[in-house]
Structure formats: structure tokens, C-alpha cells
Amino acid sequence: MDNQILVIDYKEKDFGEELQGNDYDIVCDCVGGQQNWISAQRILKRGGDFITFVGDDPNPVLSVTWIVQTAGNLLNRKFWSVFGSERHKYFMHVHSQTPENLDDLRLNYFESGKVKPIIDKVYDWRKDGIEALYSAYERSRNRMAQGKLILKIADENSK
């Protein structure tokens, strides 16, 4: 499956079933829900990482009950990360990140090449002006993007 784009509508299909038989190093969960952890375990290779930015409850209400449930789930998954047969690692990154934590994510996953974003299209502001913004917005609004849309304002080296 190298260099292929496969889009799975998570509302319609279970990615764990669709991708079963493949071994992945990392699954990043940006949607939330317990089912994503269950599905990820089907496709993660031994020792693979599951990273959630949401947790089990995609619409949490901060309360003592939520904190206790989240802590219980996290401890349970951490326990099985160490003692389970597949040793899948479970990481939960909460919404209020410190700059140090975000740097850790950037260095350990993105800059190291462990996680590579899929870029659908780059729009050039300098070349196309406001039309670049409109085009990117339309592609996103119409749900045509199969990866990230980039609006390039300037070159990395320009000041």
C-alpha cells in the first residue's frame, strides 16, 4: 500500500475491518470514540502506537465522572500496553498542550518521518492571489480533498 491514498468514511465503515491484514506502525485518532481504539488494535503491528487527540468521548463534558472514567480507561490501556500480547502503546494527548509537549510530538513523529501527512494540493497565494484561497475553500467545502490542503503564502526561506 505504499504511496497509495485510501479514503475510508469512518461514519460508514470500520477502518479496522477495511485495513485488516495490514500492519501499521501508528494510528492517529482525531475523531474520538472507544471503537477507534478497538479498530486500531486490528491493524497495528506489535508494539505499534495509537495516538488519540480526543479520547473515548468525542464531546466530553468536564466533570468528576468524566475524569474518573477517562483515568480508568487510560490506566487500563496503559496496563495492556505493557502486559498485553501485542504491546500496542496508547497515547492520549489532551487539548491543552504545552509547547514542550507539542515539540515532542513534532520531533518524535512528524520531523522524524514516522508520520507523513498526505498533501492533496498546494495553492499558491503569490501566483493566484485571493483565488487560491477561494479554490482551497471550495475543495474543502465540497469534501473533495483526499489529504491536507496547503495555502502557500511565501517560501520557507523568505522573510
25 sits in which H/E element: strand 24-29
For the chain, the residue count is: 159
Strand partners, 50: 27, 90
Give the model's pLDDT for residue 1: 46
Task: Report the alpha-carbon distance of residue 27 to residue 50 in Å, rounded.
Answer: 5
Q: DSSP 3-state assignment of 9?
A: coil
Q: Which residues contact 127 (CB under 8 A, 6 or more apart)?
A: none
Task: Report the alpha-carbon distance of residue 50 to residue 35 in Å, rounded.
Answer: 12
Q: Identify residue 121 by its one-letter amino acid code.
A: K
Give the model's pLDDT for residue 97: 62
Nearest to 46 by CA among 65, 77, 25: 25
Nearest to 34 by CA among 56, 53, 17, 52: 56
- Rounded to two decimals, the pTM is 0.57
pLDDT by residue for the chain (159 residues), tens only, comes to 455 667 788 888 999 999 998 899 989 888 888 899 889 999 999 889 888 887 887 777 778 888 888 888 888 888 877 777 778 888 777 655 677 777 877 888 888 888 788 888 999 999 999 999 999 999 988 888 888 899 999 877 765
User: Domains of the chain: which residue ranges?
Assistant: 15-111, 119-152
Residue at grid coordinates 505493557: 82
